[in-house]
Structure 1
Amino acid sequence: MTVFDPDEVLAVARHLWTRNDEASNRSAVSRAYYGVFLRARDMAGISERHPMVHQWTQEHYERDGQKGLAKRLSALRRSRNYADYSTERHVTRKEAEAAMNLSQQVRAELRALAGRRQYRDSSKVSVEKSDPVNPP
């Protein structure tokens, strides 16, 4: 079981979004992604800390029939990568707001999914060694 609640990251994203300056917009987009990514990863039972964990998390939800959720996670990740690494263009308040709205949608989907499935909020299950949806 995780000690940290990823919803706190979403609260930070909302706070940053209210500041309306470029650094805050960029940080809000990044935090909006991480707030839902951490929850999605933990619900999937993925414990590895590896650069591919983002893709593995998306693929988990695709395999589980949650293709829309996986696409939204992917879109948020692209927005996060852009906000974090693309300094040649501005990240607007409108873009930050779009990321915030999408993260709220993903969070709601994750809550609904957690209510329907036996997902575990755990970081002890290995993606390569067991099926996190149907644990032993």
Structure 2
Amino acid sequence: MWWIYALLSAFFASLTAIFAKIGVKDVNSDLATAIRTVVILFVAWGIALGRGEIKGIGELSKNTWIFLGLSGLATGLSWIFYYKALQMGKVSQVAPVDKLSVALTIVLSVIFLKETVSLKAAIGAVMIIGGTLVLIF
């Protein structure tokens, strides 16, 4: 079942790139990111509230708050740089280069989470890195 959510994520991420490229045409990319963030804020909290999933918020550990905060910070920085790149470049180049994050995530999961990676995943990561280099140069 996880792969259905992953495919939906990929589909909506591709729409994000298309809509964002159109949206940043006549606006500062930082302002565009701020607007997008407000929309996401309302959608995410609306879903959490609507499904009654905020009852345990007071019981979250300090560690959870720290790492969710760091994740939010990383997401925000990713979006800021992504929107700037979209404003300056072609979406057909920016979006695939942004997906270098997949290969970087595989490497970082081995370093920080001590995950093991299959040969197939390692080859895929190398191919993503190679494809990214082809797109850049």
Shorter-normalised TM-score: what interval?
Answer: 0.3 to 0.5
Q: So what's the TM-score if we normalise by structure 1?
A: 0.34
Q: So what's the TM-score if we normalise by structure 2?
A: 0.34
Greater helix proportion: 2
